[in-house]
């Protein structure tokens, strides 16, 4: 952002994780000790009695703060990256679907697209949860999971300060989690694994209602607040819930960001670009066994997703 002067409301406001159960809060102490020992990184435990200084909600059992975390507006960040790439000479072809990838006689890749064919010496696959049958080797490893988010109307500033006095990025300790924060114009931005299925008009509508109920559960103060925007996207989970990178079918790839790709995808992108240009491979995620998703959880096959959703709900109930 600094190098390319990308204006995207970047703010190092820290994040707050909040515990939905006493046992989750007890686990924070263990995490904080481990992170300090292994990474020399400080996490601050917030007991329930002090939680009002961090969040205007009484439903949680305590919290844990990481002051170094930051937030940004990802749409502005993406637009800034695209402009930076263009300035550096990249040709961007939006609304252009790659339909197949093959080889020419000279061994170059040949991609058929919805707007014509193109050849390339190297390919970087950055298609995430939206990976199609054009690259089946990657597609069969990705589990696509819907995630949804909504924004309220602009809140009065005293209410906004009450909900999030330190303006943190906040998320809870469940598998089926909620994550939320204030926007710079004081809307509550509230997201979560609502419908689980990839986004359609229907799942967005269902998710809006699920998320509204969730938001009021956290913040009863927002019972009469209007929801002005709702949208969703699809996350690229892998079987071990870890990112993977390297080569697949002779193409470079990075995938498996599972809802944490805003910073990570850029980092992996720079690393893969380095490999194409001949840099040594120092990506620690390359070479980790990358197992395929079980049938029924693969990209494009969604019949098993409700089972996966139910499994996470059971885990939340048990743990």
Which residues in the 75-114 window bind ligand FAD by CB under 6 A? 97-98
| CA dihedral for 294, 295, 299, 303, sign (positive or negative) | negative
312 binds ligand FAD (CB under 6 A): no
Which residue, among 301, 314, 64, has the nearest Cα to 176 in the 3D structure? 314
| CA dihedral for 31, 33, 37, 40, sign (positive or negative) | positive
Tokens read off for 255: 């995938």
CA 128 from centre of chain: 11
Query: Among residues 22 and 96, whose Cβ is nearest to ligand FAD?
Result: 96
Tokens read off for 49: 């009695």
Spatial contact of 189 and 182, defined as CB atoms under 8 Å apart: yes
Choose one: 80-88, 102-110, 128-136, 285-293; the region binding ligand FAD (CB under 6 A): 128-136
Binding residue (CB under 6 A) for ligand FAD from 149, 155, 204, 227: 149
HSE toward the beta carbon, residue 236, CA cutoff 13 A: 25
130 binds ligand FAD (CB under 6 A): yes
Binding residue (CB under 6 A) for ligand FAD from 246, 259, 274, 292: 259
129 binds ligand FAD (CB under 6 A): yes
* Residue nearest to ligand FAD according to CB distances in the complex: 261
Shortest approach of ligand FAD to residue 94 CB, angstroms? 9
Strands 251-255 vs 124-125: parallel, antiparallel or unpaired: parallel
Neighbours of 59 (CB within 10 A): 13
- H-state helical runs in the chain: 22-39, 74-87, 136-139, 157-163, 201-218, 261-276, 305-318
262 binds ligand FAD (CB under 6 A): yes
How far is 236 from 129, CA to CA, in rounded Å? 4
124 binds ligand FAD (CB under 6 A): no
214 binds ligand FAD (CB under 6 A): no
Shortest approach of ligand FAD to residue 318 CB, angstroms? 26
126 binds ligand FAD (CB under 6 A): yes
Shortest approach of ligand FAD to residue 262 CB, angstroms? 3
Query: Among residues 48 and 301, whose Cβ is nearest to ligand FAD?
Result: 301
Tokens read off for 213: 């109920």
246 binds ligand FAD (CB under 6 A): no
194 binds ligand FAD (CB under 6 A): no
Residues that bind ligand FAD (CB under 6 A): 97-98, 126-132, 134, 147-149, 191, 232-233, 235, 257, 259-263, 265
């Amino acid at each position: 952002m600094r190098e390319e002067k990308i204006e995207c409301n970047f703010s190092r406001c820290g994040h707050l994780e909040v515990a939905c159960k006493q046992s989750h809060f007890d686990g924070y102490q263990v995490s904080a000790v481990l992170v300090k020992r292994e990474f020399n990184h400080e996490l601050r435990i917030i007991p329930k009695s002090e939680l009002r200084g961090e969040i205007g909600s009484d439903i949680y059992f305590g919290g844990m703060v990481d002051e170094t975390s930051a937030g940004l507006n990802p749409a502005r960040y993406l637009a800034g990256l695209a402009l930076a790439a263009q300035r550096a000479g990249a040709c961007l072809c939006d609304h252009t679907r790659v339909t197949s990838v093959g080889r020419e006689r000279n061994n170059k890749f040949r991609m058929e697209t919805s707007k014509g064919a193109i050849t390339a010496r190297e390919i970087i696959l950055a298609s995430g949860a939206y990976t199609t049958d054009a690259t089946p080797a990657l597609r069969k490893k990705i589990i696509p999971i819907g995630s949804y988010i909504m924004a309220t109307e602009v809140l009065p500033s005293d209410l906004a300060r009450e909900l999030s006095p330190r303006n943190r990025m906040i998320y809870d300790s469940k598998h089926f989690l909620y994550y939320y924060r204030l926007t710079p114009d004081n809307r509550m931005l509230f997201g979560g694994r609502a419908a689980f299925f990839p986004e359609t008009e229907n799942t967005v509508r269902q998710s809006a209602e699920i998320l509204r109920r969730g938001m009021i559960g956290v913040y009863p103060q927002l019972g009469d607040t209007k929801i002005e925007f709702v949208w969703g996207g699809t996350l690229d989970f892998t079987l071990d819930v870890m990112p993977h990178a390297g080569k697949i079918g002779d193409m470079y790839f990075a995938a498996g960001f599972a809802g944490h790709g805003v910073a990570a995808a850029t980092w992996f992108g720079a690393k893969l670009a380095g490999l194409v240009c001949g840099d040594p491979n120092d990506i620690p995620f390359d070479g980790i066994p990358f197992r395929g998703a079980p049938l029924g959880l693969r990209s494009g096959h969604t019949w098993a997703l409700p089972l996966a959703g139910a499994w996470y709900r059971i885990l939340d109930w048990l743990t």
